[in-house]
């Protein structure tokens, strides 16, 4: 089959591919060998739920990806839609009786598509701007963050004044608002000259922390809370300055070369540490899967596997190493949303819930289908707004009416759910699990100060 027939925009670099996958790093045959097409994944898939169409279902996608390798289909324009409509939420991996790594196959297939048909025109420019020129560069992100914060702040103020929202909020939420740390500068910048942020009291161990790209700009208060919670529980915290974006967004978008570059930089940045603590589910999941990017490089593959062992989500780390239970009563009704890359990606479900339940006065209401994707999915809500909105709508239908907060462990979900709250006229506050714990600690401290 000639290159022209395949409608390719780039010459394939080699002929060592697999079937009609002509580029290096093709989808892994072993991954689909486990799929027997039983269909147990169908109902777990948000895009199948929305469309009822099997090319938008996990087993359908696996079947199509396999069909390219077998030569029945080609990597062409038509192949893009089924592969890129996937939210990469991994719910199918949980549902699959044979543990088929559908998410891994999707990412590998995206890698082939982007090598065969690089994005051009406006789409290409936008993608290049976000993935190459913005996310890997902390200083540029910070500048953008500063601008965003300004608009966001003034916007919120206006809205609050106009709707008198502050008056309808229960008193203790207004209180909580007041104990919320002011939006600060990114922690990576803030602690630039601090080699080790020392534990309060006796040091149990030293951990390194990933500050993340979006997290540190939009949610530096969550990073601050993470540091507070870690140091309060006997951990010295180090923020290696040479760390960078985890690369998840790049890999989701099919830019595996950039993913590899960022992975190498992070593995180098964190090489002297035994634990790398992550508070963003998407980043943690990516870093635990770095080895996937180096299938064709045995040496890096082994290194990446070793590195992945050190990566740990903050909730699991606290749960496993122990933490002080706060004494202050928070008196709030909350619900918990399972971020896909925590629940499906890392199997972390109970640990964050246990932490929340250990806070006195927290009343936890069950959210039906709590591990259903919210539609954020990295930058999916930017690239596929229609599907993302449909998925968000069905998510919001499951948020219980009578809760004041929705807790979760991923910044992408937090932005998406905040949007959902606004769009569907709800009034829940969106919080990260460690924030609630940190606020409880702070309240306890203030109570103690008051007594003194």
What residues make contact with another protein under the rule CB under 8 A?
Answer: 33-43, 51-55, 57, 60, 63-64, 67, 72-73, 78-79, 81-82, 95-100
Minimum Å gap between C-beta 99 and another protein is 5
Q: Which is nearer to another protein, 103 or 326 (CB)?
A: 103
What separation in angstroms does the CA of 392 have from each of 128, 260, 286, 330, 334? 27, 31, 23, 29, 19
Among residues 88, 87, 104, 43, the alpha carbon closest in space to that of 384 is found at 87
Stated as kind and residue range, the H or E segment containing 166 is helix 165-168
- CB-wise, 57 or 225, nearer to another protein? 57
Separation of alpha carbons 236 and 233, rounded Å = 9
Give, for 405, the enclosing helix (H) or strand (E).
strand 405-408
Look up residue 324 and give its DSSP letter.
P
Q: Which is nearer to another protein, 42 or 421 (CB)?
A: 42
The least distance separating another protein from the CB of residue 54, rounded to whole angstroms, comes to 4
Give me the least distance between CB of 375 and another protein, in Å please: 18
3-state helix, strand, coil in the chain (%, to 5): 55, 10, 35
Q: State the nearest-atom distance from the C-beta of 91 to another protein, in Å.
A: 12
Identity of the residue, 8 or 180, whose beta carbon is nearer to another protein in the bound complex: 8
Minimum distance from residue 275 beta carbon to another protein (Å): 28
Q: How far is the CB of 78 from another protein (least distance, A)?
A: 4
Q: At what angle do helices 77-84 and 102-116 cross, to 10 degrees?
A: 150
- Based on CB atoms, which residue is closest to another protein, 321 or 369? 369
Closest distance between another protein and the C-beta of residue 59, in Å? 8
Q: Least distance (Å) from another protein to the CB of residue 152?
A: 32
Give least dist CB 368 to another protein, A. Answer: 10
From CA 221, how far away is CA 231, in angstroms rounded? 15
Closest CA to 327 of 232, 189, 231, 207: 232
Strands 235-238 and 276-278: unpaired
Three-state secondary structure along 215-251?
HHHHCHHHHHHHHHHHHHCCEEEECCCCCCCCCHHHH
| Nearer Cβ to another protein (48/191) | 48
Of 391 and 440, nearer to another protein (C-beta) is 391
The values of phi and psi at residue 117, to 5°, are: -135, 80
Closest Cα partner for 365 from 400, 395, 341, 398? Answer: 400
Residue 139 parent element (H or E): helix 138-163
Return the number of other C-beta atoms located less than 10 Å from residue 361's C-beta. 13
Question: Which residue number, 188 or 344, has a Cβ lying nearer to another protein?
Answer: 344
User: Of the two residues 98 and 196, which places its CB atom closer to another protein in the complex?
Assistant: 98
CB of 200 to another protein, least distance (A): 39
Per-residue b or e along 242-276, where b marks 16 or more CB atoms closer than 10 Å to that residue's CB: ebbbbbbbbbbbbbbebbbbbbbbbbebbeeeebb
The tokens for 384 are 């596929």
Distance CA 215, CA 203 (A): 26
Nearer to another protein by C-beta: 53 or 427?
53
């Amino acid at each position: 089959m000639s290159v022209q027939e395949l409608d390719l925009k780039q010459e394939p670099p080699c002929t060592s591919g697999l079937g009609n996958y002509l580029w290096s790093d093709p989808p892994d045959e072993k991954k689909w060998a486990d799929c027997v097409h039983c269909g147990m994944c169908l109902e777990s898939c948000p895009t199948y739920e929305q469309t009822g169409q099997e090319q938008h279902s996990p087993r359908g996608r696996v079947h199509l990806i396999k069909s390219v390798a077998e030569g029945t289909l080609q990597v062409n324009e038509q192949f893009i839609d089924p592969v890129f409509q996937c939210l990469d939420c991994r719910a199918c991996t949980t549902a699959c009786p044979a543990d088929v790594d559908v998410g891994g196959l999707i990412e590998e297939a995206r890698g082939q598509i982007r090598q065969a048909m690089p994005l051009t025109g406006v789409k290409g420019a936008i993608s290049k701007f976000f993935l190459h020129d913005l996310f890997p560069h902390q200083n540029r992100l910070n500048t953008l963050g500063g601008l965003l914060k300004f608009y966001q702040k003034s916007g919120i103020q206006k809205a609050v004044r106009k709707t008198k929202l502050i008056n309808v909020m229960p008193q203790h939420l207004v209180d909580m608002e007041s104990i919320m740390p002011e939006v600060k500068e990114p922690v990576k910048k803030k602690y630039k000259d601090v080699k080790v942020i020392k534990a309060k009291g006796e040091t149990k161990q030293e951990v390194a922390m990933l500050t993340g790209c979006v997290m540190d700009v939009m949610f530096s208060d969550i990073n601050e809370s993470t540091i507070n919670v870690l140091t309060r529980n006997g951990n010295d915290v180090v923020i290696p300055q040479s760390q960078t974006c985890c690369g998840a967004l790049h890999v989701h978008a099919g830019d595996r070369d950039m993913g590899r570059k960022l992975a190498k930089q992070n593995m180098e940045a964190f090489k002297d540490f035994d634990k790398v603590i992550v508070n963003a589910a998407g980043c943690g999941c990516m870093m635990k899967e770095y080895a996937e990017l180096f299938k064709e490089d045995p040496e890096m593959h082994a290194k990446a596997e070793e590195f992945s062992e050190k990566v740990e989500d903050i909730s699991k780390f606290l749960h496993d190493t122990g933490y002080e239970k706060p004494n202050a009563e928070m008196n709030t009704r909350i619900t918990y949303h399972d971020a896909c890359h925590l629940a499906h990606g890392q199997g972390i479900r109970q640990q964050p819930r246990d932490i929340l339940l250990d806070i006195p006065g927290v009343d936890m209401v069950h959210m039906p289908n709590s591990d259903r994707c919210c539609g954020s999915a990295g930058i999916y809500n930017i690239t596929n707004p229609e599907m993302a909105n449909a998925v968000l709508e069905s998510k919001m239908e499951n948020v219980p009416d009578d809760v004041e907060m929705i807790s979760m462990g991923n910044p992408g979900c937090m932005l998406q759910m905040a949007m959902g709250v606004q769009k569907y006229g709800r009034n829940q506050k969106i919080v990260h699990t460690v924030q609630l714990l940190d606020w409880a600690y702070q309240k306890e401290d203030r109570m103690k100060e008051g007594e003194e």
